[in-house]
Amino acid sequence: MLKTSLPPDNSAMLEKAIAAVAAAMADPSRVKMLCALMDGRAWTATELSAAADVAPSTASGHLARLVEGQLITCLSQGRHRYYRLAGHDVAALVEQMMGLSWSRITPPETTAPKAMREARTCYDHLAGTVAVQIYDFMQAESWLEADGSALTLYGREQFLALGVSLSDHPRRKACCACLDWSERRFHLGGEAGAALLIHMESKGWIQRVAGYREVVVTASGKAAVKRFFSR
C-alpha cells in the first residue's frame, strides 16, 4: 500500500512505497489515466476509459488497481462515482516519476450551460466556478482544515468578521468538501456553506432565478468575491 509521508530515515518503507507506485504505473493505460487526473479534477470511470482508450470493463480493473495502490480515491456524489488523485503529494510523486515530457490529456468538456456552471445552488449551498474559487481561496488561506472537514479557528474568525452567522453546536456537519459536478473540484458544503449562501443572498451578492437552481452573481457580488476571496 502506498504511503507517501514517510520518515526520512526509513529507507525500507520508502522503497516499498516507490515500488508500489511503480507497479501501479507499470501499465500504459494506467499511466494515461494518471496523466488525465493530473489536471486536479475528478473524472468518471467512463471518461477515464476514453482517455486511456480502453473498454469500460478494462478501465474498472485499472481503477481498482490505482485505488488499491492509494494513488487515487473514489468519491460518490449522488448516483455518480468520480475518481481523483489521492493528494498533492501523490501528484508530485507521479509527475517526478513520469518526468516533465509526458503528454497531457484534454479534460472532458462539461455539458452544463454557462450560467449554471458559473453559479447555482447545490442543496442549500453555493456551487459552480465562483464557489470553487471561494473554496480554493479558503484552503490556501488556511480557513479550512486540509480535508475541508472543518473550519480552522482562523477561518471561523474570518467568517464572523464577514458577518456570517455560525452555530456553536450545529446539528449537521459544520463544514465539508462537496464535489462540484460541473467543475469536478470541491466547493464548500455543510453548515458553513449554507450560512455563506444565506449571507451572500442577504447582502445582494447573488440573486436566485425563480424556479431554477441557477443564481446570478451581481456586480456587487463579483466585487465582494474579488475583495474577500481572492489573493
Q: What is the pLDDT of residue 4?
A: 46
CATH of domain 11-98: 1.10.10.10
Domain ranges of the chain: 11-98, 114-228
Q: Which of 26-35, 40-49, 106-115 has the lowest mean pLDDT?
A: 106-115
Does residue 54 sit in helix, strand or coil?
A: coil
Q: State the cell numbers at 212.
A: 431554477
How far are the Cα atoms of 12, 38, 68, 88, 176 from residue 146, in angstroms, in the given order? 28, 19, 22, 11, 11
Q: What is the pLDDT of residue 22?
A: 79
Digit-coded pLDDT (tens) for 157-193: 999 999 999 988 888 889 999 999 899 999 999 999 9
- pTM: predicted TM-score of the whole model, two decimal places: 0.79
Q: Name 187's bridge partners.
A: 178
Digit-coded pLDDT (tens) for 98-154: 664 456 677 777 777 888 899 999 989 999 999 999 999 999 999 999 999 999 999
